[in-house]
Structure 1
C-alpha cells in the first residue's frame, strides 16, 4: 500500500461485515501507535509550526482510493497523502503551514463503496489556525456521490460550513445530502500548535 498506512487489511464476504470487523479492530496490534509514531517523527523533522497530525481510519469494508486534496492554507509535509488505505488500516500524514505566520487548513477526498456497492466520495477537512487566541481548531466532513468534489465551486462552500462547526463533526443519514449507506466522523484536538486530526470512515449499517 505504500508509505503512511498501518495495519493488516481486513476482508470478509461482504462490505458491511468487513466494516464491522474493522471497527472492532481500530487499535489492534498497535497499528494506531505505529501510525502516531510515524507522523510524530515527521513533525519533529519538519521544523514548522503549526502543523496538523492527520489520521484516517478505513472501516468501509473496501479499499479507499485517494481522489483529490485541497489546501486552503499550508501543504502536505514530507510524506505524501496515502494513495490507498485498505479496510482496517490507518492512513497517516502531516499537513504543515508554509511558515510560522500561516495556518494549516486542508481537506482530502477518498473514494470507496457504500453498503450497496455503489462508489461514493468521503471528504474530511481540518482547520488548524496559527492564532489560537482569535480562532479555534475546527473540522468538517461530508460523503457525496462519486465525482462531487471535483466541482471547484463546492470548496468555498465547504470552507464556510467548516467555520460553523467545532472540533467534532459527524456525517450520517441525518444530513439530507449524505450519500445513503455511508457515514464518517472527524475530530481535532484543541488549542495547540500540533493538534491531532482523526477521521473514521465507515458504513451506516456497520
Structure 2
C-alpha cells in the first residue's frame, strides 16, 4: 500500500461477510465502502498524514486534501491542473482502491502573492462499467473566500482545454458542491481560513443518501487554521 493511501480496500470478500445473501454488485461494494469510511482509523490516519505534511511545510496558504473512494472499484490518478500553487512533498495518490482515503497537501507559490487553486482528476467506472473521470477542485485565494467545485464527465474529458471555464465555475462557487452525472456522484467541501481541510467523496449515483451528503458538507467546516499569507 502506498504511503499516501489509508485503509484496507473493501473487496468482494468483505461485502460477502456483511451481506452473505446478496449478489455483489458495484453499488453494493460502494455502499459498504461508505460504511467503512471511518473503520480502523483510516480517516484519522489520512488526516494525521496531511497535517504532518502541513507541519513540515510550515506557514503559508495550503489545502489539506483528503479524498475518499466509494465507487465500488479502483480509482486511478489521471492528471491535475494548477491555477496557482503546487503539490508539496508527497505526490497525488496514483491508485485509490474502493474504501480507501488518499491524502496530499497543495500549497501556494512562493514567488508571488497568490493562493492555492487547483484540480485533480481520477478515472473509474460507473456501475455499467463505463469509464468516467471525477474532477475535484479547490480555491484558497490570497484575498477573499474559499471555493470548492466538482464534476464528473466521460473519460479524457479533462484532456481538452476547458480550464478557463472550470476556473470561472470554481471561483463562482461557495465552500461545497456536488455533482451527479453518468451514473456517478461526487461531493467536495472546504473549510474557511488560509489552511483548511478539503474533503472529496467519489461514489456512484444512488449510493449516497441525502443525510449522508449533508454530513459531507460539514466535514471540513470547522477545520480551518489561519496562516500568514506569505
TM-score (norm 1): 0.92
SS of 1:98 mapped into structure 2:
coil
Cα distance in structure 2, aligned partners of 1:97 and 1:163: 16
Cα distance in structure 2, aligned partners of 1:112 and 1:93: 20
Cα distance in structure 1, aligned partners of 2:31 and 2:74: 14
Cα distance in structure 2, aligned partners of 1:98 and 1:157: 22
Q: Which runs of 5+ in 2 are unaligned?
A: 13-23, 208-230
**Are the counterparts in 2 of residues 48 and 96 from structure 1 also a CA contact under 8 Å?**
no
Pairing 1:33–2:44 present: yes
Deviation digits for residues 179-202 of structure 1, max 9, x if unmatched? x21010000001x12100000000
Deviation digits for residues 66-107 of structure 1, max 9, x if unmatched? 000010000001100000000000010000111272210000
* Residue in 2 that maps onto 1:120: 132
Instruction: State the Cα distance separating 1:29 from its structure 2 match.
Output: 1.1
* Residue in 2 that maps onto 1:186: 188
Q: Which has the higher contact order (CA 8 A, sep 6+)?
A: 1
Residue correspondence of structure 1 range 1-40 to structure 2 within 5 A: 1-12=1-12, 13-40=24-51
Instruction: State the Cα distance separating 1:48 from its structure 2 match.
Output: 4.1
Cα distance in structure 1, aligned partners of 2:64 and 2:103: 8
Instruction: State the Cα distance separating 1:24 from its structure 2 match.
Output: 1.2
Give the alignment's Cα RMSD to 1 decimal: 1.1
Cα distance in structure 2, aligned partners of 1:27 and 1:49: 29
Higher normalized helix content (fraction of residues)? 2
Say which of 120, 128, 142 aligns to 1:130.
Answer: 142
Pairing 1:161–2:169 present: yes
Q: Which has the larger radius of gyration?
A: 2
May I ask how many residue pairs the two structures share in their alignment? 195
* Residue in 2 that maps onto 1:149: 158
Cα distance in structure 1, aligned partners of 2:59 and 2:177: 27
Q: Which runs of 5+ in 1 are unaligned?
A: 173-177
Instruction: State the Cα distance separating 1:130 from its structure 2 match.
Output: 2.1
**Are the counterparts in 2 of residues 48 and 97 from structure 1 also a CA contact under 8 Å?**
no
Deviation digits for residues 114-172 of structure 1, max 9, x if unmatched? 011111100000001122xxx100010000001100002x1111110112210010101
TM-score (norm 2): 0.82
Cα distance in structure 2, aligned partners of 1:137 and 1:41: 22
* Residue in 2 that maps onto 1:70: 81
